Structure 1
Amino acid sequence: MLSNTLVFCCSVSLAVLVVILLATLSPLPHSNSSSKPWLALSLYIQQPQTAAIPNTRPVTPPDADADAGALIFHRDLTEGPKNTSRVVGKAQGFIIPVKQFAHSGFNIIYLTFDTHEYSGSVSIQAKNLEDGEQDELTVVGGTGSFAFVRGIAVLTRKDEHDTDLVVPYHIRLHLKYPNRSETIPTG
């Protein structure tokens, strides 16, 4: 009986010692993009370079008025304003530019990234998209490196009326990652 108690005490002591050693000697987890509370990115959505190969498709029902329809686009997302800048992903969207649908949940811009630094997507709600020079839109989520982000996307376009240059949209993302220490309530 005494030997069983001694074996049990030694086993418990050894287990406690192993847990303490593992806790003090284990390496810290690698930092990744989700360990940062905020992330700011500055990117460019390139416009089509020629009218011969459009990558914007207006979709209008045959019996609708001229302002009805949807704008579906698929563009390159680059680091710099030049069309020769490094491509970091794609900008895709579905916008219904009709007043009745201005606040529609369908109006979404997706930015997808495929780089060494980032892999995933960011979803931007384009409810308040206007014809102005600058729009502030809402980031409603993301996947991969951008899982569950929230924030704002400032979309800017400056027209160059006196040149034949195609000016890209400049998009500045201000993303906030969720607090990983918060627990999700159940029930």
Structure 2
Amino acid sequence: MQGLTTALLSKFSLIVAATSILLLGLLAGVAHGNRLGGISSNAADEPCKRMTVYYHDILYNGENNANATAAAATQPTALSRSVSINDTYFGQLVVFDDLVTAEQAMSSEPVARAQGFYFYDKKESPNAWFSFSLVFNSTAYRGTLNLMGADLMGEKTRDLSVVGGTGDFFMARGVATISTDSIEGFYYFRLKMDIKLYECYVS
């Protein structure tokens, strides 16, 4: 009798555990807009979502208060000036809230805001490391894409990792290939961003 009772309790415990897991999964799906219905993961040469946008950075120069979208939060280090004839800005951190548009012109359709920071991290030549979110709030998309990685400024194209997202980009993964599309001195640059997502959650 005791063996039968133990067996029944064991089965009951398994049923409770399985039910709990199922309920937690359903609640998670509701909490995330039912995006846990499935995942679309395609081959490396076939993204599940792709877009090309343009990122505009206008660094504050002491006078452009109305137009500036980025500002240095630190100064270059004395080390950077001592090891390079051309200042590499080593150690300088820049915080930004930059406009992202559908076309090259700043007056073209706004797509998102790029909000985050970059800092110069190489002594011998200019090189930066980015961490930011693309914040979407339009009829096309809502939510964020989170990007990070090294901007190897000497290369024609560079890849940043798409490490996650929210809203329409919930848990997205992929790569953003960037290239310098325009540069005006030290205070303005425009990046072309070809974003390819290879992991997309679907409703």
TM range (shorter): 0.5 to 0.7
Identity of aligned residues (%): 22
CA distance in 1, matches of 2:196, 2:147: 12
Is residue 120 of structure 1 aligned with residue 120 of structure 2? no
Larger deviation, residues 61-70 vs 83-92: 61-70
Give the aligned residue type for 1:131: M
CA distance in 2, matches of 1:168, 1:77: 9
CA distance in 2, matches of 1:85, 1:36: 31
Structure in which a larger fraction of residues adopt strand: 2
CA distance in 2, matches of 1:167, 1:108: 17
CA distance change for structure 1 residues 65 and 50 in 2, over 3 Å: closer, same or farther?
closer
Give the aligned residue type for 2:53: L
Aligned partner of 2:74 in structure 1 is: 60
- The structure that has the greater radius of gyration is 1
CA distance in 1, matches of 2:97, 2:143: 16
* TM-superposed deviation, 1:74: 1.1
Q: What's the TM-score, normalizing by structure 1?
A: 0.62
Is residue 45 of structure 1 aligned with residue 55 of structure 2? yes
Is residue 144 of structure 1 aligned with residue 171 of structure 2? no
Relative contact order higher in (CA < 8 Å, ≥ 6 apart): 2
CA distance in 2, matches of 1:142, 1:160: 29
CA distance in 2, matches of 1:46, 1:157: 10
> Secondary structure at 2:98's aligned position in 1?
strand
Give the aligned residue type for 1:46: H
Q: What's the TM-score, normalizing by structure 2?
A: 0.58
Larger deviation, residues 88-97 vs 114-123: 88-97
> Secondary structure at 2:181's aligned position in 1?
coil
CA distance in 2, matches of 1:174, 1:35: 16
Cα deviations by residue, 1:131-183 (Å, 9 ceiling, x for unpaired): 1332111110000000001000011113468xxxx652111110123467xxx
Q: Pick one of 157, 172, 178 that aligns with 2:194.
A: 172
> Secondary structure at 2:114's aligned position in 1?
strand
1:1-187 superposed matches below 5 A = 37=41, 38-48=48-58, 52-53=64-65, 54-60=68-74, 65-66=79-80, 67-99=90-122, 107-126=130-149, 128-132=150-154, 133-159=156-182, 168-178=190-200
Contact 2:112-2:135 within 8 A present in 1 as well? yes
How many pairs are equivalent?
141
Long gaps (5+) in structure 2: 1-37, 42-47, 81-89
> Secondary structure at 1:46's aligned position in 2?
strand
* TM-superposed deviation, 1:97: 1.4
